[in-house]
């Protein structure tokens, strides 16, 4: 802090030397009541006292007395400020209670030292800007809450992980579902191979099957999972050990904790990590999982093959029945009309008609010649006329048989209707024979496909057996627990302090 002194007072002092102009330490009076010594300041820079030299009685009488209200005479000109150098001695005085904040001088007015109430000295005491840091109750509560919420749980977790948690061993197994890409004979017969297709991937089905209750129940019946996973002792390791007997739902939940599945949907790869408290048990469980997965894929393939064979067999049976009905209809037709092939009989009858027509034409020519060269009563003419009538009657009769004429055969049906019915039955029989040939080939192809395994489980990592334990991952678990507790504690502290600041 700087102080200012008017030039007029310096001249009245009788031209004091420059050394006298420097402020001197104020001497204490001889008789001063004893006071308790003040505590030494922690930092001398925080307590500074500006001291002024003692003036003569005449000079103090001539100068106006400063007041606590900081009232300054208007006639007094502003004084230049004197800055104390750090080398000047500063005497610290015990802290005195103040009545209140001191009034600041108005702009342009000189600053006057405050009166201490004693004759011969004047001092200005400045409170330190920063108080000394002290331990408060809230700091104790904050440290105590950190110890209770963070340090104690982390220490308890570390003691449990390294002192009570049992070692766990991991067995790895990885496999994928593969299908044969070679085209079979079924694909050439109208897309019958699509019957064995599925709407979802076989790997997706296997992924869900490994986590299902059915697989857990099967493996538990074979190797007794409850006994294997309770070897650590529920009383010694209650967090990581299985608590027998439990329900099947409890066993499935613990199964999902001890069997870790990684599924690569891009390549269709499945990787499993099976945990147990002994390496032999982990390997045994992984082998059972691989065996049951293989059985599931083979069962899916067998179901697809049986479906394909069943559909082909049904088509073949239907074609056989259709062919039997067509052949039975043809046989009934032949038995009813006593004709093996009406088309052949029609051709023969048409040949007879053609021959009779030729004979009729020759007889008519001969009759015309006789009529021109003989008498009307010539017996040869009468004989030729009789022959012509017989030939015409025969032609008419033959035409009735083939349905050309207006008559019918003895059965009451014309030959054209018989031939039409026979042709219809013949076409049905030919279609039934072709259908039977096609379905028989499809059935043979389906049966050949059934003898070949189209889908299979390929293991690129066989079940392994561990030599050292890798679980539980103690450092990682301890770090996660500590980080979570610190996060929770920090949030609670921020909430408490925010509520405290609002009050």
Average pLDDT, integer, range 360-366: 84
- Residue-wise pLDDT for 376-411, tens only, equals 777 887 888 888 888 888 888 777 766 544 444 445
Alpha carbon distances (Å) from 74 to 64, 112, 367: 11, 13, 182
Domain ranges across the chain? 167-315+454-497, 322-449
Average pLDDT, integer, range 69-77: 45
**Number of C-beta neighbours around residue 213 at 10 A:** 12
For residues 287 and 463, is the Cβ–Cβ distance under 8 A? yes
Please, which pLDDT band fits residue 481 given cuts at 50, 70 and 90?
very high
Distance, in Å, from the CA atom of 219 to the CA atom of 296, rounded to the nearest integer, reads: 14
Tell whether omega for the bond before 134 is within 30 degrees of 0, i.e. cis: no
* Nearest alpha-carbon partner for 186 in 456, 439, 434, 455: 439
For residues 327 and 429, is the Cβ–Cβ distance under 8 A? yes
Choose the weakest-confidence range: 192-196, 293-297, 426-430, 474-478: 192-196
Q: Which residue has the tokens 């697989």?
A: 215
Distance, in Å, from the CA atom of 419 to the CA atom of 144, rounded to the nearest integer, reads: 114
Mean pLDDT of the chain: 73
What sign has the CA pseudo-torsion 431, 433, 436, 440?
Answer: negative
pLDDT at 49 over 70: no
pLDDT at 327 over 80: yes
DSSP annotation of 176: E
What sign has the CA pseudo-torsion 284, 285, 289, 290?
Answer: negative
Distance, in Å, from the CA atom of 415 to the CA atom of 346, rounded to the nearest integer, reads: 7
Burial group, residue 401, by CB count within 10 angstroms (0-12, 13-18, 19+): buried
Residue 407, SS3 per DSSP: coil
Which pLDDT score is estimated for 348? 65
Distance, in Å, from the CA atom of 256 to the CA atom of 371, rounded to the nearest integer, reads: 120
For residues 414 and 408, is the Cβ–Cβ distance under 8 A? yes
Burial group, residue 450, by CB count within 10 angstroms (0-12, 13-18, 19+): middle
Bridge partners, 172 (sequence order): 273
Provide the edge-to-edge strand list for the sheet that holds 169-179.
Answer: 259-264, 269-276, 169-179, 455-461
- Residue-wise pLDDT for 32-48, tens only, equals 444 444 444 444 443 33
DSSP 47-77: --EEE-PPPPHHHHHHSPPP-TT----SSSP
Q: Going by C-beta distance under 8 Å and a sequence separation of 6 or more, which residues neighbour residue 302?
A: none
- Residue-wise pLDDT for 217-266, tens only, equals 999 999 989 999 988 888 888 889 998 888 999 999 999 999 999 998 88
Higher pLDDT among residues 300 and 58, named by residue: 300
**Number of C-beta neighbours around residue 312 at 10 A:** 25
Please, which pLDDT band fits residue 489 given cuts at 50, 70 and 90?
very high
* pTM (global) more than 0.95: no
Distance, in Å, from the CA atom of 183 to the CA atom of 180, rounded to the nearest integer, reads: 8
- Residue-wise pLDDT for 109-143, tens only, equals 444 444 444 545 567 777 767 667 777 788 888 89
Token pair for 270: 């499945």
Burial group, residue 365, by CB count within 10 angstroms (0-12, 13-18, 19+): exposed
DSSP 332-400: HHHHHHT-S-HHHHHHHHHHHHHHHHHHHHHHHHHHHHHHHHS-TT-HHHHHHHHHHHHHHHHHHHHHH
């Amino acid at each position: 802090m700087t102080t200012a002194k008017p030039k007029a007072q310096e001249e009245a002092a009788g031209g004091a030397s420059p050394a006298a102009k420097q402020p001197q330490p104020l001497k204490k009076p001889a008789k001063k009541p004893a006071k308790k010594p003040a505590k030494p300041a922690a930092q001398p820079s925080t307590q500074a006292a500006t001291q002024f030299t003692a003036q003569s009685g005449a000079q103090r009488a001539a100068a106006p007395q400063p007041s606590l209200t900081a009232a300054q005479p208007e006639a007094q000109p502003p004084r230049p400020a004197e800055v104390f150098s750090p080398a000047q001695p500063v005497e610290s005085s015990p802290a005195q209670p103040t009545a209140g904040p001191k009034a600041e001088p108005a702009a342009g007015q000189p600053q006057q030292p405050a009166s201490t109430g004693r004759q011969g000295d004047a001092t200005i005491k400045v409170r330190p800007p920063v108080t000394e840091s002290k331990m408060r109750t809230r700091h104790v509560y904050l440290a105590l809450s950190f110890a209770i919420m963070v340090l104690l749980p982390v220490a308890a977790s570390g003691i449990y992980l390294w002192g009570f948690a049992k070692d766990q061993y991991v067995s790895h197994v990885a496999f994928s579902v593969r299908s044969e890409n070679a085209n079979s004979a079924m694909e050439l017969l109208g897309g019958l191979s699509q019957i064995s297709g599925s709407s979802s991937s076989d790997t997706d089905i296997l992924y869900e099957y490994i986590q299902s209750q059915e697989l857990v129940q099967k493996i538990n019946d074979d190797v007794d999972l409850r006994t294997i996973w309770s070897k650590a002792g529920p009383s010694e390791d209650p967090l990581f050990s299985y608590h027998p007997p439990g329900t099947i739902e409890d066993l499935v939940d613990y199964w999902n904790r001890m069997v870790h599945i990684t599924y690569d949907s891009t390549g269709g790869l499945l990787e499993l990590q099976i945990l147990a408290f002994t390496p032999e048990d982990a390997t045994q469980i992984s082998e059972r999982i691989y065996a049951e997965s293989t059985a599931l894929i083979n069962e899916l393939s067998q179901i697809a093959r049986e479906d394909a064979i069943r559909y082909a067999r049904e088509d073949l049976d239907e074609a056989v029945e259709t062919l039997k009905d067509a052949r039975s209809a043809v046989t009934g037709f032949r038995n009813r009309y006593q004709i093996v092939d009406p088309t052949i009989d029609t051709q023969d009858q048409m040949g007879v008609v053609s021959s009779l027509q030729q004979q009729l034409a020759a007889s008519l020519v001969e009759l015309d010649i006789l009529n021109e060269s003989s008498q009307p009563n010539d017996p040869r003419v009468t004989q030729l006329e009789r022959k012509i009538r017989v030939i015409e009657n025969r032609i008419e009769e033959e035409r009735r048989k083939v349905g050309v004429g207006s008559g019918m055969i003895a059965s009451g049906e014309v030959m054209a209707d018989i031939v039409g019915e026979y042709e219809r039955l013949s076409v049905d029989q030919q279609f039934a024979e072709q259908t039977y040939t096609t379905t028989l080939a499809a059935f043979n192809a389906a049966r050949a496909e059934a003898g070949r395994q189209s889908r299979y489980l390929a293991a690129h990592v066989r079940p392994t057996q561990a030599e050292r334990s890798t679980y539980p991952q103690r450092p990682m678990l301890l770090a996660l627990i500590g980080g979570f507790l610190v996060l929770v504690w920090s949030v609670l502290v921020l909430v408490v302090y925010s509520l405290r600041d609002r009050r």
